[in-house]
Amino acid sequence: MAEPGGAEPGGAEDGICPWCGTDPLYRAYHDTEWGVPVRDERPLFEMLVLESFQSGLSWITILRRREGFRRAFAGFDPDILARFGPADVDRLLVDPGIIRHRGKIEATVANARAALALRDSGPGLAAFLWAAVDGQPLTNHFTTGTEVPGKTALSDALARRLKQAGFRHLGSTTVYAFMQAAGLVNDHLTTCPRHAEISVGA
């Protein structure tokens, strides 16, 4: 299952998805953000970047540093990030507010440039991403966490398209986690109140 950060299941007496446990920050993310369809370019870009940084780490680690990432990466403005050079990368490598990983930082700059290229060529990032699901969220009907896949044929295809478009550090598992988070797919369990709420809102 491509749960955010691979959080250990537990504490789902109220029927909500068990991966968020009882941590207030995690619960708030589950209750208000995860799975809600996002169609604006900048938040989608932010989510792609944060998912790329989550690879190999727990999602709560990323959530606790999200404001640090926003500050360090100029509010995830691709126009600004695309101009970052080696000195900026070196500066970010000593920034305690983010995950200091050279490959992921350099990928973020490359991904900003790729996002601008998509905008300049016509479709833009949002249309490019949502084309993976024909513009409409996919609603799954899983009853247990073990049913939820870590990746799918759709995430395989989108990861390939992103790579072809110049994006880096976005494999199929990371892309599926992004699809879940950004609401391209609704993977809340059917026992979770958010499953129906998002399905109606979508």
**Residue 179's closest CA among 148, 143, 142?**
148
Question: Is 19 among the residues known to form the active site?
Answer: no
34 is catalytic: no
Q: Which one from 19, 26, 34, 59 is the annotated catalytic residue?
A: 59
Active site residue 106: no
**What b/e string do you get for 21-55 counting C-beta neighbours within 10 Å, with b at 16 or more?**
beeeebeebbeeebbbbbeebeebbbbbbbbbbbb
Which one of 46, 51, 130, 176 is the catalytic residue?
A: 51
- Residue of 29, 34, 130, 176 marked active site: 29
* Cα 43 to Cα 31: distance, rounded to the nearest angstrom: 18
- For residue 138, what are the β-bridge partners? 185
User: Whose CA is closest to 184, among 134, 137, 139, 141?
Assistant: 137
The catalytic residues are 29, 51, 59
